Each structure stands twice: as structure tokens, then as C-alpha cells.
Amino acid sequence: MDVIDIPLVLAWVREIAAAVEQQEARLTELDSAIGDGDHGSNLRRGFTAVLAALDTLDEPASVGAVLTRTGSTLISKVGGASGPLYGSAFRAMGAALPGETADPAEFAAALAAGLAAIRKLGAAEPGDKTVVDAWTPALAAFERTADTGLAAAAGSAAEAAAQGVLDTVPLQARKGRASYLGPRSVGHPDPGAASTELIFRALATALGRLKPSG
């Protein structure tokens, strides 16, 4: 059966941490162009703390417990805009996944809950040049392809997120720091959208590597 279980969700979060660590400089560079140059270090600080928090989390009772702990740690350690936004998203995903496993539809619902949390907190619409612009198409792709299997769905979500990042380039930002630049925000990808792509790519990587046990 094609399910997400606790080892897999742990692997996902660890893949995000590894990707953030590896891409820190690029994220910071993107944020230097239209923000304040800290998105990479913010997320690295956050996911370093998440790794430590997960190490102390023995025997998580559910898939959601891992994600909730991840979200709480991000909220406690990141600060900035991305800390509460991603933190709330992971907490919302955690709340949506109370079982020891989750099937593709349940997982899609959790991803949707994550996006809803981001949009509730940040009030960004699609097209505002934020993480929403990567998460929204990624979620749609995941939902569309969920019945083709988790790995395939995650892969198409990652591709859609990547396209979402590219699609932020011509946008003028209306939320976050980039909005201060007005028209000068046009022509650059949004750093938060780029980190959202990493999150979905990490999911695909984790799913491709780990054979789900459930």
C-alpha cells in the first residue's frame, strides 16, 4: 500500500534540512536581491534546530507528531516572516495527520491545510510573489497525480513548485519585504517560493529513496 509513515516523514524533514543547508547561500542571495539577505540563514538555523528537536523526540506517536514538532521548532527558532509561516504550515500539516500512516489523499489534505495556514497568517493571494506561488501549484499537482502513487505525485509537485518559482519572476511583490521595492521587485524569483520548491523536492527525494514500510 502506498502510504506515508513515520520513518518517511522523518526522512522528508531531514531531506529538507539537508537541502536548506546545501542551498543556504543561494536562498540568501535571492533574498539579498529583493529582501534583506537572511532567508538562507533563517531556514538553516531553523532546520538545524529541527534536527536536534527530532533527535530528542523518541517514538513519535503519529506522522503528524513529527510535523507538529517541526513546525513548533521553526516558530521558536527562525523568526522573520518565514518562521511563523512555515512553522504554522508544518503545525497545520501535523494536526491533519493524526495517524501512524497517511495515504495519498490524506497527505494531500495535509498539504492543503499547510497552505491554508500560510494564507491565513500571511494573507497573501496567489500572484503576490510569496511562498504561496510555489505551494499552490505544487499542491494542485500533488492532488492531480495523487492516485499515480506518492513518489510520482511528489515529483510532479516539485516540478510544479519549480515552475511556480519561475512564474514569480515577472511578478511585482505585494507582500513581504520585496513589496517595498515596488516595480523593482520585478525580474527576480521570490526566495520563499524557492525554499518551498526545496520542501517539495525533499519530499520527492525521501519518497524515492525510502521504500514505505506500511
Partner 1 sequence: MKKLINTPDTVLADALAGFAAAHPELAVDLDNRVIARGSRPAAPKVAVVSGGGSGHEPLHGGFVGPGMLDAACPGEVFTSPVPDQLLAAARAVHSGAGVVFVVKNYTGDVLNFGLAAELAAEEGIEVRTVLVNDDVAVEDSTWTAGRRGTGATVMVEKAVGALAERGAGLDEVAALGARVNAASRSFAIALTAATVPAAGKPGFDLPEDEIEVGVGIHGEPGRRREALRPARELVAEVVDTVLADHDLTAGDEVIALVNGLGGTPLLELYLVYGEVHARLAERGIRIARNLVGNYVTSLDMAGFSLTLTKAGPELLELWDAPVATAALTWT
**Among residues 170 and 182, whose Cβ is nearest to partner 1?**
182
Residue 118 binds which entry of partner 1, Mg ion, ligand ADP, none, with Cβ cut-offs from 5 to 8 Å by kind?
Answer: ligand ADP
Q: Is 175 in the site for ligand ADP (CB under 6 A)?
A: yes
Residue 181 binds which entry of partner 1, Mg ion, ligand ADP, none, with Cβ cut-offs from 5 to 8 Å by kind?
Answer: partner 1
The alpha-helical segments, DSSP class H, found in the chain are 6-34, 39-55, 63-77, 82-96, 104-122, 132-145, 150-168, 191-209
Q: In the numeric block, which cell numbers belong to residue 209?
A: 529513496
Q: At what angle do helices 191-209 and 132-145 cross, to 10 degrees?
A: 30
Binds ligand ADP by CB under 6 A, chosen from 12, 15, 35, 53: 35
Q: Find the part of the chain contacting ligand ADP (CB under 6 A) among 64-72, 99-107, 144-152, 184-192.
A: 184-192
Q: Is 85 in the site for ligand ADP (CB under 6 A)?
A: yes
Nearest Cα residue to 17 out of 153, 158, 176, 203: 203
**Among residues 34 and 158, whose Cβ is nearest to partner 1?**
34
Least distance CB 32 / partner 1 (angstroms): 5
CA 179/CA 74 separation, integer angstroms: 24
